[in-house]
Amino acid sequence: MAKLKAFTMPKWGIEMAEGTIAEWMVAENAPFARGTVLTLIETDKITNEVEAEAEGRFVRIIAKAGETYAVGALLAVLSDGGEATAAEIDALIAGFRPSDTSFDPEADTPVSAVNADPVPVAAIAVPEGIAISPVALASAQELGIDLAQVSGSGRNGRISLQDVHQAARTPQPPVLVGAFPLLPEGPVMATPVARRLAALHELDLGKVTGTGPRGRVRKSDVMAAIANAAPAPQLIAAPVASTASGAPEIVPMSSMRRTIARRLTQSKQEIPHFYVRRRVRADRLLAHRAASIGEKPSVNDYLIRACALALLEVPAVNIQVHGTDIHQFHQADIAVAVATDRGLVTPIVFGADNLGLGTIAATMKELAQKARSGKLRPEEFAGGSFSLSNLGGFGVEQFDAIINPPQGAILAVGTARPEPIDDDGAIRIVPVLHLSLSCDHRAIDGADAGRFMAALARLIEQPALLTGN
């Protein structure tokens, strides 16, 4: 016998009163797995993907795409996968009563679109002196949790829904396996972090003087060598020394700087920016790059290729916005930020989706040299369907970039730093990139931005997918 549940309109935020079904992502009676995107729901502020909390199928979809429903309204009938008769489904629909969606600061609101049928909470005994929210009590009844063994994390020890779910899980202590190996030990003694930093910045460890025991190269030695080898170019003019009178010297903006200032000011004033951020493991990409033969593409070259392929998967981000018109491109023209002594320039790698890593590396090297020498032609930096700005080489961990109009989005990339991640239940310490996508909300929705970041993360974490051409 199937276990049926009501799939209802979720509530995101205190002010949300209704939502619109943008699209059903699964068909009626089609089985789905845990984590499958079931539907896209739009509100006046966001577009969210609703994912399945467990495997199952919709035995009846009631709500129609494009229509608006109040929070708590019945959208569909969910089955755990078993068969259900039409009479059973009709009985659930006839007996359904929307839950109370009024705001109560003392109550817990489960962040879920799948609500169980009403449960008589009087059937479970609550030990004296224990405070528990109504939804947590209903969940404890369903799961058979002994409330005396649950520690509340809410105000004054109040038991929340999260506390109940945590108590229902089988405790599994983390498995510590140490740092993920990136490079094999070479003739130079160095710490793992020093080796990763050296690989990231293309630094020869044999030329670095180690200050550790027996001359072992440490992180501080590599950082000092990087700073001495290539002082970071500045994106704005360096502070000018004061004159003898103490007053600063006034230096007028160059034509390029005035253009940058005008365009970025216009961008922030006229474009409604929103940001989507994600952490992505970079150890596999760095290892893939280290194992490549011949002249190695830079990390930025890999990112250009990954962005191009992700844009083909999510064309809604591969756009320009011109007034009330959206121009959607069929190839990925990636504008890449390059710092020069005159300001920031964004030469374009046209058709990056059709270029291999080696071609992208050669193209980008030529464009960067032209940009720094001021020899770029207008057609080499005008246009583009997407921008990439990477400040990882400057040690910046994370930042948000301003959209370069008329493009609809720009990706900001920070440096890869060692961080713990969950790798199939094991805790590993690997280099992690912090990505931030700035989007024009007039043309790009949150769901599209989320799909793009998911596609980009998959490509970065599986670098073999980037070497198809």
pLDDT value of residue 233: 46
pLDDT value of residue 14: 60
Same domain, 335 and 456: yes
Radius of gyration of the chain from its Cα atoms, rounded to whole angstroms: 27
Same domain, 200 and 266: no
Same domain, 308 and 388: yes
Is residue 237 in some structural domain? no
Residue range 432-459, pLDDT digits in tens: 999 999 999 999 999 999 999 999 999 9
pLDDT value of residue 310: 96
Same domain, 262 and 310: yes
Peptide bond before residue 406 is cis, with ω within 30 degrees of 0: yes
Domain containing 416 — which CATH number?
3.30.559.10
- Residues known to be catalytic: 441
Same domain, 214 and 303: no
Residue range 199-257, pLDDT digits in tens: 777 788 888 888 887 788 888 888 788 777 654 444 444 455 545 566 888 877 765 66
Is residue 18 in some structural domain? yes
pTM equals 0.50
Domain containing 214 — which CATH number?
4.10.320.10
Residues 12 and 416: their CA atoms lie apart, in Å, by 33
Q: Is 373 helix (H, G, I), strand (E, B) or coil?
A: helix
Residue type, 120: P
Residues 386 and 403: their CA atoms lie apart, in Å, by 9
Closest C-alpha among 15, 10, 62 to residue 41 = 10
Asked whether 270 and 404 are in contact (CB, 8 A), the reply is no
Q: What are phi and psi of 185, to 5 degrees?
A: -65, 135
Same domain, 400 and 343: yes
DSSP 8-state class, residue 14: T
Same domain, 42 and 182: no
Looking only at Cα atoms, what is the longest distance across the chain?
92
Same domain, 136 and 262: no
pLDDT value of residue 437: 97
Same domain, 325 and 259: yes
Asked whether 8 and 72 are in contact (CB, 8 A), the reply is yes
CA atoms within 13 A on the CB side of 251: 13
pLDDT by position in tens, the chain (length 469): 678 889 998 886 665 678 888 888 889 988 998 888 898 887 654 557 888 888 888 989 999 888 888 888 999 998 887 778 888 888 888 888 876 554 443 344 444 444 444 444 445 667 777 788 777 787 787 777 888 778 787 777 788 877 777 777 766 666 665 655 544 455 678 887 777 777 777 788 888 888 887 788 888 888 788 777 654 444 444 455 545 566 888 877 765 666 677 788 888 888 999 999 999 999 999 999 998 888 889 999 999 999 999 999 999 999 999 988 999 999 999 999 998 877 788 999 999 999 999 999 999 999 999 888 877 777 888 889 999 999 998 899 999 999 999 999 999 999 999 999 988 888 989 999 999 999 999 999 999 999 999 999 999 999 999 986 4
Q: In angstroms, what CA-CA distances link 2 with 55, 75, 84, 98, 118? A: 13, 19, 6, 22, 17
Domain boundary among 143, 168, 193: 168
Is residue 217 in some structural domain? yes
pLDDT value of residue 287: 92
Is residue 462 in some structural domain? yes
Is residue 282 in some structural domain? yes
Residue range 59-80, pLDDT digits in tens: 899 998 888 888 889 999 988 8
Q: Per the structure, how many domains does the chain have?
A: 3
DSSP codes joined into one string, 318-372: SEEEETTEEEE-SS--EEE-EEETTEEE--EETTGGGS-HHHHHHHHHHHHHHHH
Bridge partners (DSSP) of residue 428 are: 421
Same domain, 447 and 317: yes
Is residue 291 in some structural domain? yes
CA atoms within 13 A on the CB side of 42: 13
Same domain, 191 and 144: no
Containing domain of residue 153, as a range?
4-168
Same domain, 187 and 112: no
Is residue 246 in some structural domain? no
pLDDT value of residue 173: 66
pLDDT value of residue 229: 66
Is residue 415 in some structural domain? yes
